[in-house]
C-alpha cells in the first residue's frame, strides 16, 4: 500500500486525503497550524490519521508521495528534506488529475482568473456536465470523488502549477501576467512567468492555448519558448484570424472558419478587462461546441464574482464597492480605471514587492482621499502622501469605513481595492471583503 502524506489540512489537503483513501493509499495529513474543526470532523469520520500544530518528521519522510498545500513555499526545511530523500512532491491538481478522464479547462493568470473561470463554468453548465474547482469552491480531488463530472473548469494559481508533473489541461487559458507573488519567486519576475507557463508544458498539438495577445510579457515569452498546443489569442487592439478580437463594438471569435459575433454592449460585466475575460471564456465555450445563442445569453446574465468590483450599497448617494480580491497592483489598476467619479480609496495589507507607479495617473485624476488599512503603511505613505490632501492610517475595517463615510460626498465612490494580500489583519481576502460589507451595512 502506497503512503500518501499531505502537508496542509485546508480545502485541497482534505479533498486529496479523501480521494487518496478511496483509491487505496495509506493517508496521513500533517499541518503546522491548526486544522479547522469542520475539516477535523471529516478526517475523523473517514478514519484518516492526522496531526496539527506540528510536523512529525518520521511520519512524513517515509512517504511514497507528498501532496503539499500551495501555501507552503519550497524554502521550508521540511520540504527540502522531502526532496533530498527523492520523494515526489505534487500539487492537489496533479494528484487528482490521475483519477479522471474528464476534459479539463485550466485557467491561470495574475488577474481575472476567478472571473474567467466562473464565467467559463457559467457558459458551459447550460449544456455540459461540468465542475468548477481548483483555487475556487470545493477542491478538484473532492469533486472527482463525489461528482465525477465529465468536464472541469479549474482556476489554477502559480503555486499549484509549481508542483505539476504530468497534468495537462485540454484547454489552457492565460489571462495575463503582471508582477505578483514575487516574494515566492526570489523576486525574479522570470521565475514567476515560467511558473505560469507550466500550464502548457505537457500540452500537445491536439490541445489549445488561449492567451492575451495584448500582453507583452506573454508575447515575449512565447517567442523564446514556443509551445506545442494550438494557439488561440484574444485582443482588444489587433485583428485575430484564429481566436478572438474586438471589432468596434463586437467581439468576434473565429475557430476553424466557424465564427461567432457578440455585441459588447450587452455584457453583464463592465470594463475593458471584462471584455477580455468574456473573450477567453467564450473561446472555451465555442471550442466545446456550446450553442452561439447560449453563449450570448449567458454573457448577458452572469452575476459576477463576490469581492471583485462588487457594488455593496449606495448610502447618501455614495456608492460603496468591494474589490477585496484585488491582491496585487494590476487588479487595483483595473478597479481605479473603471471608477467614473471621485473616489475614497481604501488600500493596504501585506505588500508582495509592489511597484505602485502604474496607479499614479488614476490617483492624481480620480482619488480624493486614501485610507491605509494595514499593519505597515510606510510604503503607501511614501508613494501617495503628496498626491492627495487626505491620507490616513487605521488597522480596523470598521474605522476605515467610518472615515470614508465622513469624507465621501454625494455622487462619489468608496472603493476597497487593497493591492496587497490580507494576511496582516484578516484571515483571507474573503474575510476582508465580508468585514467591509458588514461595516458598510452597519453605517
Same-domain pairing of 73 and 204: no
Q: Kindly state the percentage of the chain with pLDDT values over 70.
A: 99
Smallest CA-to-CA distance from 73 within 163, 142, 134 is with 163
Q: What is the dihedral of CA 328, 329, 333, 336, to 10 degrees?
A: 80
Residue 44 has pLDDT above 80, yes or no: yes
Counting the structural domains of the chain, the total is 3
Nearest-CA neighbor of 276 among 255, 302, 246, 298? Answer: 246
Average pLDDT over residues 291-316: 91
Residues 342 and 436 in one domain: yes
Over range 38-47, report the average pLDDT: 96
| pLDDT for residue 181 | 65
Mean of pLDDT values over 360-374: 96
H or E element in which residue 17 lies = helix 11-22
Tell me which H or E stretch contains 252. strand 250-255
Please tell me whether residues 119 and 252 are part of one structural domain.
yes
Residue-by-residue DSSP string for 267-321: -SS-SHHHHHHHHHHHHHHHHTT--HHHHHHHHHH----TTSSEEEEEETTEEEE
Q: 419 with 364, same domain?
A: yes
Mapped onto helix, strand or coil, the DSSP state of residue 93 is helix
For residue 111, what pLDDT band results from cuts at 50, 70 and 90?
confident
325 and 274 within one domain: no
The grid cell for 89 is 512532491
If asked whether residues 27 and 128 sit together in one domain, one would say: no
Q: Are residues 147 and 289 in the same domain?
A: yes
139 and 82 within one domain: no
Q: Count Cβ atoms within 10 A of the Cβ of residue 245 and give its class: 0-12 exposed, 13-18 middle, 19 or more buried.
A: buried
Cα distance from N-terminal residue to C-terminal residue, the chain? 58
The CATH number linked to 121 is 3.40.1190.10
What is the chain's alpha carbon radius of gyration, rounded to the nearest angstrom?
22
> Is 127's pLDDT higher than 80?
yes
- pLDDT on residue 418: 96
Same domain flag for 226 and 271: yes
Average pLDDT of the chain?
93
pLDDT digits (tens, 9 = 90+) for 174-216: 999 987 767 777 677 878 888 899 999 999 999 999 999 999 9
Q: What is the dihedral of CA 337, 340, 346, 352, to 10 degrees?
A: -10
Instruction: Give residue 322's pLDDT.
Output: 96
Q: What is the pLDDT of residues 75-110, one digit of tens each?
A: 899 999 999 999 999 999 999 999 999 999 999 998
**pTM, whole model, 2 decimals?**
0.83
Helix (H), strand (E) at residue 367: strand 367-373
Domain-terminating residue out of 284, 301, 318: 301
CATH number, domain containing residue 20? 3.40.50.720
Which are the contacts of 306, defined by CB distance < 8 A and separation ≥ 6? 322, 430, 433
pLDDT tens digit sequence for 218-274:
999 999 999 999 999 999 999 999 999 999 999 999 998 899 999 898 888 877 888
Structural domain boundaries, residue 287: 99-301
Lowest mean pLDDT among 45-54, 125-134, 176-185, 277-286: 176-185
| Pair (341, 408) in one structural domain | yes
Residues 175 and 292 in one domain: yes
204 and 117 housed in the same domain: yes
Q: Which triple of cell numbers denotes residue 388?
A: 492627495
pLDDT at 103: 97
> How does pLDDT run across 415-428, given as a tens digit for each residue?
999 999 888 999 99
Q: What percent of the chain has pLDDT over 90?
A: 80
Query: According to DSSP H, which parts of 98-237 are helical?
Result: 113-124, 140-146, 158-162, 189-197, 216-224
Domain endpoint, select from 54, 72, 90: 90
Select from 239, 272, 301 the last residue of a domain. Answer: 301
Amino acid at each position: 500500500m502506497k503512503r500518501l502524506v499531505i502537508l496542509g489540512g485546508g480545502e485541497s489537503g482534505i479533498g486529496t486525503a479523501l480521494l487518496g483513501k478511496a483509491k487505496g493509499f495509506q493517508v496521513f495529513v500533517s499541518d503546522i497550524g491548526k486544522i479547522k474543526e469542520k475539516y477535523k470532523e471529516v478526517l475523523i469520520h473517514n478514519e484518516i490519521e492526522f496531526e496539527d500544530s506540528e510536523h512529525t518528521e518520521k511520519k512524513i519522510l517515509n512517504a511514497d508521495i507528498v501532496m503539499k498545500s500551495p501555501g507552503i513555499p519550497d524554502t521550508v526545511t521540511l520540504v527540502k528534506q522531502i526532496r533530498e530523500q527523492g520523494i515526489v512532491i505534487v500539487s492537489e491538481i496533479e494528484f487528482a488529475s490521475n483519477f479522471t478522464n474528464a476534459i479539463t479547462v485550466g485557467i491561470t493568470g495574475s488577474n481575472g482568473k476567478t472571473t474567467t473561470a466562473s464565467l467559463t463554468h457559467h457558459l458551459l453548465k447550460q449544456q455540459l456536465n461540468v465542475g468548477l474547482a481548483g483555487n475556487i469552491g470545493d477542491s478538484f480531488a473532492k469533486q472527482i470523488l463525489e461528482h465525477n463530472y465529465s468536464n472541469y473548469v479549474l482556476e489554477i494559481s502559480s503555486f499549484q502549477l509549481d508542483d505539476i508533473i504530468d497534468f495537462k489541461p485540454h484547454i489552457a487559458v492565460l489571462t495575463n501576467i503582471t508582477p505578483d507573488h514575487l516574494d515566492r519567486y526570489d523576486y525574479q519576475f522570470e521565475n514567476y512567468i515560467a511558473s505560469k507557463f507550466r500550464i502548457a508544458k505537457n500540452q500537445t498539438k491536439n490541445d489549445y492555448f488561449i492567451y492575451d495577445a495584448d500582453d507583452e510579457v506573454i508575447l515575449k515569452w512565447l517567442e523564446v519558448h514556443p509551445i506545442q498546443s494550438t494557439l488561440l489569442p484574444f485582443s482588444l487592439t489587433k485583428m485575430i484570424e484564429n481566436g478572438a478580437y474586438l471589432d468596434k463594438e463586437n467581439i468576434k471569435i473565429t475557430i476553424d472558419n466557424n465564427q461567432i459575433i457578440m455585441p459588447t454592449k450587452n455584457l453583464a460585466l463592465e470594463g475593458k478587462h471584462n471584455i477580455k475575460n468574456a473573450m477567453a471564456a467564450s473561446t472555451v465555450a465555442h471550442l466545446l461546441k456550446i450553442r452561439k445563442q447560449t453563449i450570448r445569453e449567458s454573457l448577458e446574465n452572469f452575476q459576477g464574482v463576490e469581492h471583485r468590483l462588487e457594488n455593496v450599497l449606495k448610502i447618501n448617494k455614495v456608492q460603496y464597492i468591494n474589490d477585496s480580491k484585488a491582491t496585487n497592483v494590476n487588479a487595483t489598476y483595473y478597479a481605479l480605471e473603471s471608477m467614473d467619479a471621485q473616489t475614497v480609496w481604501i488600500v493596504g495589507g501585506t505588500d508582495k514587492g509592489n511597484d505602485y507607479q502604474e496607479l499614479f495617473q488614476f490617483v492624481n485624476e480620480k482619488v480624493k482621499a486614501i485610507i491605509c488599512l494595514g499593519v505597515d503603511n510606510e510604503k503607501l505613505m511614501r508613494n501617495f502622501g503628496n498626491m492627495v490632501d487626505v491620507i490616513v492610517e487605521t488597522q480596523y475595517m470598521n474605522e476605515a469605513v467610518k472615515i470614508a463615510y465622513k469624507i465621501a460626498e454625494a455622487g462619489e465612490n468608496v472603493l476597497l481595492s487593497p493591492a496587497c494580500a490580507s494576511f496582516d489583519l484578516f484571515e483571507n481576502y474573503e474575510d476582508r471583503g465580508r468585514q467591509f460589507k458588514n461595516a458598510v451595512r452597519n453605517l
